[in-house]
Amino acid sequence: MADHSIRRGVVQEEEDLSVLRFPKDLANAKFLLNSEVSMLLEFRKESAENEGGAEFPQSFHKTLAYAERFSRYKNKTSIKQVRSTLSKQGLEEFEIASLANLCPEHSDEAKSLITSLKRFDDDSLQAILDELSNLRKFN
């Protein structure tokens, strides 16, 4: 069997989310909250309607419906507050978006969903989750 990490004499690093190693095409990606996706798509839809009512494919409407359904934060201020609060905790961009989108309640649940969080002890991570829960309540 051939080793898939070696191709044409070049060693390629395999992606590994547990240590936040992403494929090269995602190296500089900005990970979005569902709420941000919802706002961006809604803005695009409204802009098109104001410019003459462009038609969007069904996939656009399905994506918008999904993003709206799973949006946890309804305004820009809430999103900024969530991002700011989680950034101060030493979380990476991927972890911030994942926590804000998935909203796990307990540290063990968060660690099973986002394996890179295993670097945090349970109490520290639970404090972060509790703070995130408080932000959702007052959204």
- Angle (CA) 131 134 139, round 5°: 130
Reduced to 3 states, what is the DSSP secondary structure of residue 89?
A: coil
Residue 84 belongs to a domain: yes
pLDDT at 54: 77
Sign of CA dihedral 32, 81, 75, 50: negative
Closest CA to 29 of 42, 15, 41: 15
- For the chain, what is the domain count? 1
Residue 86 belongs to a domain: yes
Residue 102 belongs to a domain: yes
Residue 71 belongs to a domain: no
pLDDT at 14: 79
pLDDT at 136: 87
* Helix, strand, coil % over all residues of the chain, rounded to 5: 60, 5, 35
Range of the domain at 102: 79-137
CATH of the domain at 91: 1.20.1250.40
Residue 106 belongs to a domain: yes
pLDDT at 12: 53
Residue 11 belongs to a domain: no
Closest CA to 131 of 87, 68, 93: 87
Q: Digits of tens for pLDDT over the chain (139 positions)?
A: 444 544 554 445 678 777 888 888 887 889 999 999 999 999 999 998 888 777 899 999 999 999 999 999 989 999 999 999 999 999 999 999 999 999 999 999 999 999 999 999 999 999 999 999 998 887 7
Residue 67 belongs to a domain: no
Residue 109 belongs to a domain: yes
pLDDT at 83: 95
Sign of CA dihedral 44, 47, 51, 55: positive
